Amino acid sequence: MDYTITTVAWIVLLPFFAFVINAFIVKKVPNVAVGISCAAIFGSFLLSGRIFFDFVFGKYSADYHVHKVFNWFDLNGGGQEFVMKMGIYIDNMTAMMLFMVTGVAFLIHIFSTYYMKEDTRYGRFFVYMSLFTSAMLGLVLSDNLISFFIFWELMGFCSYSLIGFYYEKEDAGNANIKAFMTTRIGDVFFLLGILAIYFQVGSFTFVDIYAAISSGMFTDATVTIFGFGLPLALIASLAIFMGTIGKSAQFPLQVWLPDAMMGPTPCSALIHAATMVAAGVYLSLRMFPLYEIHPFMLPFIATIGGITALGAATIALVQTDFKAVLAYSTISQLGYMVLGVGVGAYNAAFMHLITHAIFKACLFLAAGSVIHSLHDHHTHQHVQEMPRMGGLKNKMKFTWFAMWCCTFAIAGVPFFSGFVSKDRILGDALVMAMHNPYYWFPATLGFIGALLTAFYMCRMMFLAFHGEPRDKDLYDHIHEEKFSWNRNLPLLILALFTLGVWFSGSLTGQKLVKVASDKVEWFDTLIVKPKTENFKNYQKQNWGPVDIKSTISFPVSKYDSNHGLSEEEAHHVHSVHSIGAIASIIIAFSGIFIAFMMYIRKSWNPGWWVNTFSTWYRALQNKYYFDDMYIKGIIQKGLIPVNNFLAWVDMGIYDKYAIDGWEKVNRCAFTVSKWFDNIFVDTIAVDGTGASVRAFNVILRTFQSGKIQFYIIMIILVLSSYIWSLA
C-alpha cells in the first residue's frame, strides 16, 4: 500500500468534512446529516482497516513504521531555524488504534441512530460525534506533540459539548464545565512538558524525541526551577504524565469522569470508555522512552495507576446508578493501563487499552439499551437506578448476552480478552515486584482491584438482569427486545471481540499452529517498546515527504520469545506470569462467587457489610469525599479566598492605589505641568521673549529711529571716538 499524507489524511478528513457539512445542514435535514456522519466514519473505517491489515498481515514487523511529514509553516530567518512540521506517523500501535477507534466509533454511530432517534437534537449529536472522531483519529496519526496537543484539546472541546449535550439540565451544564476545567489542569502541564522537551530536543516530532533520547540528550540535562537544578527528564515526564492524569481520569483528577455520564450514553461509550480517555494512555505509551529515563518516574506512574485502579473499584462497589458503576470501572481499568505503563508492560498496557475500549464500549451501549428501555411513565424519565431494575434478562436477551460477555471480559475470566490483557499487566507487575520490592505496593493494589472488579461487575449484572423485578410497574412496561440491526448488532459484534482469542492468538497465520502457547501472540510480536536507537540516524535528515522505509531498512523482527532475557530469567518470568495468571483466575472467580452469594443466593447479606463498615460505606458513597475536598477544601478554602484576595488586591490595592493613585499622580503632574506651563513657558519663555524684545526695543528704538540726523550724530560720535583713540 502506498502511504502518503494525501491518502492517509482522509481517515481524519472524512469525519471532519462530515462535521463541516453537517454543521450547515443539520437543522434542515437531520436524517441526511446522520447518514453523512455514518458514511464518513465507515469510510474512515475502511481506510483504517486497509492500513491495519497491511501492517498486521502484510508487514508483520515490530519495527515497521511510516513517517511522512510536510512543512506546516516555515519561520526561518536571521539564523533562527524554526520549521513547524506536521505529518503522520503510523506504526503498529497507530494502525491498531485507528482500526479500533474507527470500528468502535462506527458501531457507536450505528447504535446512536437507535438511541438518539427520539431526541430533539438527533442530528447535532452526530455533528459532535463526527468532529470528535476526527479529532481522535488525528491525534492517533500525529507524528508530533503539537498536532497531538491540538487534537487533544479539540477532543476536550468535543467532550465538553457532548457531556453538556442536554444543556437544559443544570447537572449536565455543571458536569461539562467540571470535565473541561479538570482536564484543563492536566493540559496546562502537558503543554509545559511539550515545551520542556522542545527546548531540549529542538523538535516536536516523536522520532526526533526518540533520537534525542537514544543519543543521551536527556540523561544529564537539568532544568532550573526556582534555583533548583532538577532533572529535565523527570520534569518533562511528570508534566506530560499530568496530561495523562487529566485526560485519563487518574488519581487525583478522576473526579470529572463520573459526572461526565450526564451526556448521552453513546457518547459515554465513545468518549469515556473507548477513545478519549484512551488518548491519555496512548500518550503515555508514545512517550514511554522518556518515562524510562529517570528511575523515579515509572514507580510513580505505577503507584498512580494502582491507587486509581483500587480506589475507583471500591467506589464502584456501592454505586446504585447503572452508568456510575461503568464510569468507575472505566477509571479503574484506566488505572490498570497506567499501572501497566508504570511496570513497563508496554504491550500489555496497549492491549488492555484495545480490549477495554471494545468491552467498555459494548458495556456502555448495552447500558444505553437497558436505560432506553426503562421508561418511567410517571416522570417520563429514563431509569438508571439499579434498585428499580431486576429480572431484565427475560425481556432483553441480546443485551443480557452481550453484557455478560463484557462482564466476563472485564472481570478477567479466562478465554475473554480482559483476562489476557489484565493478567499480563498484573503478571508484569509481579515480575517487577520480584526485582524491586517497591512494586509490591501497586501490584497488590492491582490484585485487590481485580477482585473488586469481578465483584462489582457481577453485582451490577445480578442486580439488573437477575432475580425478581423490584419495580413491577416499570418492568411491565418494558417491550420485549426484538433483534434490530442498529440496537443489537453493534452489541453483538463488540461482544464477539471480547473473546480472548482475537488478542492472544496468532491472527496472522505465520504461527497459526502454536495458538495454544502464549508465546506466539501476534500482539506481543507487533507491539514493542520503541527502540530509540533506531531513530538515531534521522535526527538531522532533510525534511520533506521522506519515506523512512526507503532510507533505512527494517528487517522483519525475529520474535524473541525470551523478551531479550537469558534462558534462566525467562523461565523465572514465565513462572511468575503463571503464578499471576493462576492468581488472576482465582481472584476473578472468587469475586464472581462473592457476588453470586450476596445477590443471587442471598446467603451473605450486603447490609451487614454496610452496617459494619458504615464509615467506609459513606466514604465510598461520597467518592472518598474527593468532590467535597475539591469544592470545600481547594475551591472554597483555597481558590475562593485566593480569588477574593486577588479581587481585593485588584480592587483594593490595584484600583485604589495604582489606578486611582496614578490618576492622582497624573493630576498632580498635570497641575505641576500646568503651573510650569503657565509660569515658565507662557509667562517667562513666551511672554518673556516678547517682553525682553519689547524692553530691548525701547533701547534699540532710540537708535533705530529713522531719524537721519540722529544717525549723523551717532556717526560723528563714533568716528570721533575712533579718531580719538587712534590719533
Partner 1 sequence: MFDSVLFLLSAILIVVGSLGVLFIKENIMHACVALLTALFGVAGAYAVLGADFLAATQLVVYVGGVVILMLFAVMLTGGGAANENKFGIEKIPAMGNVKTYIIAGVNVLVISLVVIKIMANVMQDYKAVALPAYESTVEKLGTLLVTDHVLAFEVSSILLLGALVGAAVIARPIGSTK
Partner 2 sequence: MNSMYPFLFLSFFMFVIGLGVMIARKNIIAMLLGIELILNASALNFVTYTRFVNQNLDGHIMSLFIIIIAAAEAAVGLAIVIRFFQVRESIHIDDAAQLQA
Task: Tell me how far, at minimum, the Cβ of 706 lies from partner 1, in Å.
Answer: 8
- Decide whether 225 or 727 has the Cβ nearer to partner 1: 727
Spell out the residues 6+ positions from residue 514 whose beta carbon is closer than 8 angstroms to its own. Answer: 506, 520
Please report, as residue ranges, which positions from 699 to 718 form the binding site for partner 1 (by CB under 8 A).
702, 705-707, 709-710, 713-714, 716-717
Give the span between the Cα atoms of 565 and 575, in whole angstroms: 14
Look at residue 708 and give the partner it binds from partner 1, partner 2, none, a contact being a CB closer than 5 to 8 Å depending on partner kind.
partner 2
Look at residue 699 and give the partner it binds from partner 2, partner 1, none, a contact being a CB closer than 5 to 8 Å depending on partner kind.
none
Give the span between the Cα atoms of 338 and 243, in whole angstroms: 12
Please report, as residue ranges, which positions from 273 to 292 form the binding site for partner 2 (by CB under 8 A).
none
If one counts every other C-beta atom within 10 angstroms of the C-beta of residue 298, the result is 21
- In the list 709, 724, 726, 727, the residue contacting partner 2 (rule: CB under 8 A) is 709
Spell out the residues 6+ positions from residue 430 whose beta carbon is closer than 8 angstroms to its own. Answer: 443, 576, 577, 579, 580
C-alpha cell read off for 520 = 506466539
- Decide whether 75 or 714 has the Cβ nearer to partner 1: 714
Q: Count of residues binding partner 1 (CB under 8 A)? A: 15
C-alpha cell read off for 263 = 451526556
The CA-CA-CA angle for residues 584, 590, 593, to 5°, reads 145
- Decide whether 575 or 705 has the Cβ nearer to partner 1: 705
Please report, as residue ranges, which positions from 608 to 667 form the binding site for partner 1 (by CB under 8 A).
none
Phi, psi at 342, each rounded to 5°: -65, -35
C-alpha cell read off for 508 = 496472522
- Decide whether 708 or 727 has the Cβ nearer to partner 2: 708
- Decide whether 181 or 713 has the Cβ nearer to partner 1: 713
Look at residue 496 and give the partner it binds from partner 2, partner 1, none, a contact being a CB closer than 5 to 8 Å depending on partner kind.
none
Look at residue 702 and give the partner it binds from partner 1, partner 2, none, a contact being a CB closer than 5 to 8 Å depending on partner kind.
partner 1
Residue 484 class from Cβ within 10 Å (0-12 exposed, 13-18 middle, 19+ buried)?
exposed
- Decide whether 437 or 706 has the Cβ nearer to partner 1: 706
Strand partners, 205: 144
Residue type, 634: I
C-alpha cell read off for 694 = 519689547
- Decide whether 685 or 713 has the Cβ nearer to partner 1: 713
Look at residue 605 and give the partner it binds from partner 1, partner 2, none, a contact being a CB closer than 5 to 8 Å depending on partner kind.
none
- In the list 46, 685, 716, 718, the residue contacting partner 2 (rule: CB under 8 A) is 716
Task: Tell me how far, at minimum, the Cβ of 715 lies from partner 1, in Å.
Answer: 10
- In the list 225, 516, 699, 727, the residue contacting partner 1 (rule: CB under 8 A) is 727
- Beta strand 66-74 pairing with 83-90: antiparallel
Give the span between the Cα atoms of 284 and 244, in whole angstroms: 7
Taking each continuous run of H as one helix and of E as one strand, the counts in the chain are 32, 4
Look at residue 724 and give the partner it binds from partner 1, partner 2, none, a contact being a CB closer than 5 to 8 Å depending on partner kind.
partner 1
Give the span between the Cα atoms of 170 and 469, in whole angstroms: 31
360-399 mask for partner 2 (x: CB under 8 A)? ----------------------------------------
C-alpha cell read off for 127 = 455533528
- Decide whether 669 or 715 has the Cβ nearer to partner 1: 715
- Decide whether 607 or 706 has the Cβ nearer to partner 1: 706
Which has the closest alpha carbon to 617: 625, 626, 609? Answer: 609
Question: Which residue in this structure is represented by grid cell 496614578?
Answer: 662
* Candidate segments 184-192, 444-452, 638-646, 708-716, binder of partner 2 by CB under 8 A: 708-716
> What do you get for the CA distance between the two ends of the chain, in Å?
120
Strand partners, 144: 205
- In the list 496, 651, 712, 719, the residue contacting partner 2 (rule: CB under 8 A) is 712
Which has the closest alpha carbon to 18: 126, 118, 98? Answer: 126
- Decide whether 671 or 705 has the Cβ nearer to partner 1: 705
- In the list 225, 708, 726, 727, the residue contacting partner 2 (rule: CB under 8 A) is 708
Please report, as residue ranges, which positions from 664 to 703 form the binding site for partner 1 (by CB under 8 A).
702
C-alpha cell read off for 542 = 532533510
Please report, as residue ranges, which positions from 648 to 707 form the binding site for partner 2 (by CB under 8 A).
705-707
Look at residue 228 and give the partner it binds from partner 2, partner 1, none, a contact being a CB closer than 5 to 8 Å depending on partner kind.
none
Give the span between the Cα atoms of 201 and 184, in whole angstroms: 25
Rule CB under 8 A: which residues touch partner 1?
702, 705-707, 709-710, 713-714, 716-717, 720-721, 723-724, 727
Rule CB under 8 A: which residues touch partner 2?
705-709, 712-713, 716
